Chains A and B, each alone.
Chain A
Amino acid sequence: MKHKAKKLFLTMVLLKMNLACSYIFSQTNQFKIYSEKILGTETTIKMIPIKSGTFNMGSSKKEKERKRDEGPITDVYIDGFWISEIEITWDVYELFLDRTADKEHVKRAELNLNIDAISGATAPYVNYNKKGYPVVNVTQYAASQFCKWLSAKTGNFYRLPTEAEWEFACRAGNDDPYSFGKNARKMNEYGWFKKNSNGQIQRVRLKKPNAFGIYDMHGNVAEWVLDSYNPETYILWGNSVKNPVMIGKKLYPRVVRGGSFKSNIDELRSAARGFSKEKWKRRDPQIPKSLWWFTDANNIGFRIVRPKKTPNKDDINKMWVNPIKEY
């Protein structure tokens, strides 16, 4: 049996490689706010342009409740990109799950998509409100596959933000603990956390946006980025770095940013770093565990970015999250 299993595995690997993808994504010189309309539906995603620039990533030792993994402060240069104005909601995510829109419209770019698997994957049995609420309990892989699907549907290259892009967009030019300054009490105007959420996830866009016009960067759901978590990330990066990203091979821990409706206020700070835990899947009764869903991460969601300059094919391929089986 063992031998047989191995053989089957090899066949699967070969099959995957044969399906190598070919695609051309659009390039544009325009760098303005736009709404991405998903063909075959009424749904749009508003994308906010973030101009290239340099910022201080991390927090100083003086910052209240600051953790060691937020330092030392590093000079980070980021190329321009668009970021979604809101956390991805069920309204959009269910189009990906359901894929009814796919049946009627030809895709604009061909991608190797393993999305039959997601429509086949059973979502965790928990309470969700859907319309207008951010999607939660999604794995980083699922979030990345959503980006792939959206890229194929629209012809524009979408992906998860890097940790540095995320913090750059969150700060919106502000080095203080929060994008709105030092005064944590003002959080009530900008974000959902433990004290003001009544323990409930909230609809997106109910609070004020940051200076870039982006909503809910602080709180509501903690958001996936591409990077693996390493408490020494900024030490490894050194004093200054350009477009950094650390994509590791291990499934855990990976970074989530912004804190959530369940967090204490200090976990919502622009520099605060959260990370994934195996226990987020602890009530998954199956083996292998779901590639797509957590059972115990009802405060974990994501938003998407699109680089201003579409990278070449090799670089695009590096930005998809690989599936890792979990037993």
Chain B
Amino acid sequence: MKKEIDNVNRRKFLEHSAKITAAGFLMNKLPARSKRLFSIEGEIKVALIGCGGRGTGAASQALEADPDVRLVAVADVFEDRITECLKSLNEKYPDSERININQETSFLGFEGYKNAIDLADVVILTTPPAFRPLHFEYAINNNKHVFMEKPVATDIDGIKRIIKTGKLAQSKKLNVVVGLQRHYQRNYRAIKKMIDRGRIGDIISGQVYWNSGGVWVKPREKDQTELEYQMRNWYYFNWLCGDHIVEQHIHNIDVANWFIGANPISAQGMGGREVRKGIDHGQIYDHHFVEYTYPDGQIIASQCRHQKGCMNRVEEVFQGTKGSVTINSANFALMKNKRKKTIYDHQGEDDINPYQQEHNDLFKAIRQGQYKINDTKQGADATLSAIIGRMATYSGQVITWDEAIKMDQNLVPDLYSFNDQAPVQPDENGMYPIPIPGVTKY
């Protein structure tokens, strides 16, 4: 996959963007705020970058987290996303002063994120993961606290940029929350504590699952450029999404890393497209099965499937030298000792929504002027763990952590307009190149 940008397209974009600006089309350039505060009194200004359903949800959770949170800017590449997002928020918070968005603070286009971030104290990054490194860098360079969704990248270059920027955030004492919300969920926190206290002994193996029927599809529409089509139907393109092992199954792999207390040293596995291989299903696989090896020899079997009509299971299971635990995001956790006797059964009926908890923690830290949270490393490690799993299933080879992190892999080109060239192109039948084990390098 190539990264180069077509000069002709670039020129086209410049003409195009000039037209847009002239028409006063949502784009606006305002001077960046000069004054920065690390602890904040009064209003906390939030900008939302990526106005889909999840971004809108995250913006709402930010508003719920602190009564003085104000949404001051939004950015997206799709106008209907911005419109729908603001419609929803205005429905949820009618007559509220807290959503201060107008034409001047809604930024449409590939570079709108800059204008929006400039206006805020805290930024929410909820675009498809391909753009996370770019947006995170800009936010931290400009001294913003960050909530960003998982995964944090789709390729190795992205991971490197995230890790580097995470260190910068640390030196600047900026709080960063990554939306691996199991870390903010009570049953997971309780079990983590008990594992650390040795209740199931040392973890020796585990099985982590995200087997489901899959997600939405956005069929191609006429008048879309190739890039626009791919960005609408982003789930099915590796450069945008990272494949579902990265985009979803990251949650379960992350729990293995967290509970074991280490990252995998290698991955090997198999995967493919058995059922989901239609014209609008891009390039990604519909199943992966990966065996991860951890530093002390622990083995985690990871399976993720997007196939309808099959058993659904989204869960993590671990076996230790003294017992076992089964845990999932439905506030469920069951720990048993070696004799199969229950030693902990989590009662989670009324646990707080973890998606809310992550914002509560972030805004509390910001409000109190504390530098408390930096999930960047853990988010990058979880993302890289999933990426080496993908590399293993795509290539059919054993992929080690150490060799992966040294690789030069950049799937995401610099993009300025929908007229830019998409990094993958369909063949004459409208089908995209699909990774082939034994042939694909990684």
Could you tell me which A residues sit within 8 Å of B by CB distance?
1-2, 4-5, 8-9, 90, 94, 97-98, 119-123, 125-130, 282-288, 295-296, 298, 325, 327
Contact = CB atoms under 8 A, between A and B. Distances in A.
Contacts of A90: 309
A126 B88 contact: no
B113 interface: no
> Which 3 A-B residue pairings sit nearest by Cβ, starting from the closest?
A286-B53, A327-B92, A128-B312
B60 A97 contact: no
Nearest to A117: B216
Interface in B342-396: 353-355
Given A98-B308, A288-B53, A1 B86 contact: yes
B313 A5 contact: no
Contacts of A296: 330
Interface residues of B, number: 44
Interface in B80-121: 82-83, 86-92, 101-103, 106
B89 A130 contact: no
Contact of B57 (A120, A121, A287): A287
27 contacts: A1-B101, A1-B106, A2-B90, A4-B83, A5-B87, A94-B309, A120-B217, A122-B216, A123-B212, A123-B312, A125-B314, A125-B329, A126-B329, A127-B312, A127-B315, A127-B330, A128-B311, A128-B312, A129-B311, A285-B58, A286-B52, A287-B59, A287-B88, A288-B53, A295-B330, A296-B330, A327-B91
Contact of A130 (B54, B88, B210, B312): B312
A126 to B, nearest CB: 5
Contact of A8 (B87, B92, B213): B87
Nearest to B85: A287
Given A125-B329, A282-B353, A327 B314 contact: no
B314 A288 contact: no
A295 B329 CA distance: 10
A123 B312 CA distance: 10
Nearest to A325: B91
Among A9, A98, A288, A296, the one with the most B-chain Cβ atoms within 10 Å of its Cβ is A288
Contacts of B407: none
Given A94-B309, A130-B309, A298-B330, A285 B57 contact: yes
Contact of A123 (B52, B106, B210, B213): B213
Nearest to A100: B308
B293 interface: no
Interface string B50-66: 00111011111000000
Nearest to A284: B57
Among A2, A286, A298, the one with the most B-chain Cβ atoms within 10 Å of its Cβ is A286
A287 B353 contact: no
A8 B88 CA distance: 12
A41 to B, nearest CB: 12
B101 A97 contact: no
Contact of B87 (A9, A127, A284): A9
Contacts of B212: 123, 125
B37 interface: no
A324 B90 CA distance: 16
A1 B83 contact: yes
B310 A130 contact: yes
B314 A126 contact: yes
Contacts of B82: 1
B60 A327 contact: yes
Contacts of A119: 217
A126 B328 contact: yes
Contact of A126 (B89, B181, B308, B330): B330
B23 interface: no
Interface string B154-183: 000000000000000000000000000100
B215 interface: yes
A295 B213 CA distance: 15
A128 B181 CA distance: 22
B216 A286 contact: no
B215 A122 contact: yes
A9 B90 CA distance: 13
A296 B57 CA distance: 17
Contact of B92 (A98, A120, A282, A287): A287
A5 B353 CA distance: 29
A22 B217 CA distance: 29
Nearest to A282: B353
A327 B216 contact: no
A295 B355 CA distance: 13
Contact of B56 (A123, A129, A130, A287): A287
